Amino acid sequence: MKKFLKIFLLVIILGGFVYTIYFLYEKSQAKPIVYETTTASKTDIVKKTVATGSVVPRKEIEIKPKVSGIIEELYVQEGSMVKKGDLIAKVRIIPNMVSLNNAESRVNLAKIALENAERNFNRQKELYEENVISKKDFEEYELQYQNADEELLSAENNLLLIKEGQTKATGQSTNTLIRSTIDGMVLDIPVEVGNSVIESNTFNDGTTVANIADMGEMVFEGKVDESEVGKIREGMDLILTIGAINDVSFHATLEHISPKGLEENGAIQFEIKAAVVLIDTVFVRAGYSANADIVLDKRDSVLAISESLLQFDNDSAFVEVETEPQKFEKKYIETGLSDGINIEIISGLSEEDKIKKLN
């Protein structure tokens, strides 16, 4: 019995040793490489560059007051649609004390002058009616009286303009009422009732009361790197993608390329502008950030393969085509337009050729 157990253990050990040797041998044998294959197919090739920027109104203006003062009333709010001539705000004038004092003094002097001219006129009129003086002498006093009357009216109007921004003749506060100069939408009102504003004049831009823009005509303003600007030209088509509007693309036409570049972060950038074709059902807000795909070249329904399949021999491009199962040979091809992923095949391949995928 003991002898049988010894023999049995020896057989088990020997079997384990043989299995180990076989296992190590199998592991040492290189497995044959099986290459996957693919074929060329018809597709569209679009070569494009990307410009980043924003969508803004073509016409956006700042409404500024014609007189300095304090905002007394606001008649619109952000988002309101206005027509040319619609009221935006009303300004209450705070007169300059020196100018006000001079204007009041001028009125008083004009009244004194008018009273004196009126007395002389009445006196000379009686003498003229009694044929004591000639008509010519009388007309001189009449002219002095009329001039004094006109001077008083002018002085009173000047005083009203300084105090209230209106005259007796018009009866309207034309300078204190701020009106829209275009049709459009109110984008921003940077002032509140009670804020002081400064008039727009030769020496001062003035305080902006409202920003108004025509939202029916938008343009894309972006920048293109100097390495790409030489490839684009006015009239090219752009495809806009606006980050805030999902699943909607807009078409645009490139209409301006800046002749001067500006340095940004060590690179030269050129500004471009493109007219955006709006969609009636989608409201585009001013200032939306957007990316523009500029189509540099395009091929429709051409034979193409992935660029990763290409190999190169000096200046010649080739792929490996399967002639027999897992046997391949070089096949030189002529390539065309590439979009960075797929490349056009002009000649050298057909849709039936099985192309070796590179590991």
CATH class of 37-45+300-356: mainly beta
User: Mean pLDDT score of the chain, rounded to an integer?
Assistant: 83
Give the residue with greater pLDDT, 325 vs 250: 250
Residue 56, pLDDT > 90, answer: yes
Nearest 5 degrees, angle CA 173-CA 160-CA 196? 60
* The CATH number of domain 61-93+176-213 is 3.40.1110.10: no
Residue 141, pLDDT > 90, answer: no
For residues 157-181, one letter each, b for 16 or more C-beta atoms within 10 angstroms of the residue's C-beta and e for the rest, the string is bbbbbbeebbbeeeeebebbbbbbe
Q: Which tokens sit at 241?
A: 């993608």
Q: What's residue 250's pLDDT?
A: 92
For residues 257-271, one letter each, b for 16 or more C-beta atoms within 10 angstroms of the residue's C-beta and e for the rest, the string is beeebeeeeeeebbb
pLDDT in tens, 22-47: 666 666 655 667 778 888 888 888 88
- Strands across the sheet containing 184-188: 60-63, 210-213, 184-188, 81-82
pLDDT (mean) for 48-61: 90
Q: With the CA atoms of 11, 16, 21 and 25 taken in that order, what torsion angle do they form, in degrees rounded to the nearest 10?
A: 130
- Please tell me the CATH superfamily of domain 49-57+215-298, with its number: Efflux pump adaptor protein, beta barrel domain (2.40.30.170)
Residue 209, pLDDT > 80, answer: yes
Q: Is the dihedral of CA 140, 146, 152, 155 positive or negative?
A: negative
* The CATH number of domain 97-164 is 3.90.76.10: no
Residue 354, pLDDT > 70, answer: yes
Calculate the alpha carbon distances from 236 to 48, 231, 294 in Å: 11, 10, 7
Residue 193, pLDDT > 80, answer: yes
Its pTM stands at 0.62
List the chain domain ranges.
Answer: 37-45+300-356, 49-57+215-298, 61-93+176-213, 97-164
Q: What's residue 27's pLDDT?
A: 64
Q: CA 243 to CA 262: how far, in whole Å?
A: 25
